[in-house]
Amino acid sequence: MTYAMSSRLNFSIATSDAIQRFINDGKMRRSIEGPDGSLSDHSVADGSARPLISLGLIAEDSAHRDRVELTEIGLAVCRDYWRRSDADDPSLPQLNIRAT
């Protein structure tokens, strides 16, 4: 969702602040929502969002029950993460990003 916050990564996608839940082959999945409302081709299991909700990093959108958005806390954590990543902070886990 927030790769574009990095000043080093060359991602042409815009930063998104929302994730949509949908059903694919009978399974609940989540995918990043683009600025135009379209969904990313890549999706993750629905359960992967639960820890982020519990931590208050994302929250359900009251107007759309299948949508979660970054909270102010989530945005602050992401900004801090990318600032530290861009500065090569050795205490962060190694990042493995594959562009498709």
Helix (H) or strand (E) segment spanning residue 65: strand 64-70
Least confident of 15-24, 44-53, 56-65: 15-24
pLDDT at residue 58 is higher than 90: yes
| Cα radius of gyration rounded to whole Å, the chain | 14
pLDDT of residue 25: 92
Three-class DSSP labels, 17-55: CEEEEEEECCEEEEEEECCCCCECCCCEEHHHHHHHHHC
pLDDT at residue 91 is higher than 70: yes
Sequence ranges of the domains in the chain: 3-86
pLDDT of residue 56: 95
pTM: 0.76
pLDDT of residue 55: 95
